[in-house]
Amino acid sequence: MSEEIEVEALEVEVSVQPIELYKVLKIANLVSGGGEAKYAISDGYVAVNGEVELRKRCKIYDGDVIEFNGEYFVVICDQPVQEVIPRDQQPIKVAPVVKAPKKDKKAPPVKAKKNKAAPATSKNRSVTKKEAEKTEKKADTATGRKPISF
């Protein structure tokens, strides 16, 4: 003798089915985020169709009843069920092979021009010839190395 009790349930509309349980809790604004939803599910605060559900990614379909925080929610989805293909049965996507363009052997090699501008300081401004000469004079006479400044 099982008695059916009528309880008012709120509707949660989803755009795809099946949908994972934690996502339904997020869509219904019952939790502030996915982490909180997963925590509530794993601690046993959520029931699906009258049974406590501990799986965070439990597949929820149109018409399933979710109980959370003393309230009932019915999942509504007008889209057909999408087939879930296991990873080992999914087709392998192969990227197309792109060939590099052939080099023209007749073209002469391009020589890079040397930049004869004065060296820049740490403030990205041009250095005058006088400033450049001062830094050159500060070079170590024994080794010929210039000091590094940042």
Residue 145 lies inside a defined structural domain of this protein: no
Domain count along the chain:
1
Q: How far is CA 101 from CA 98, 104, 110, in A?
A: 9, 9, 18
- The per-residue pLDDT for range 28-81, each reduced to its tens digit, is 999 999 999 999 999 999 999 999 999 999 999 999 999 998 899 999 988 888
CATH number at residue 64: 3.10.290.10
CA 100 – CA 37 distance, rounded (Å):
50
pLDDT digits (tens, 9 = 90+) for 19-43: 999 999 998 999 999 999 999 999 9
The distance of Cα 3 from the centroid of its chain, to the nearest Å, equals 48
By the 8 A CB rule, do 42 and 56 touch?
yes
User: What is the C-alpha separation between 68 and 98, in angstroms, rounded?
Assistant: 53
**Does residue 22 lie within any of the structural domains?**
yes
Structure-block tokens of residue 110: 């391009």
Kindly report the pTM of this predicted structure: 0.52
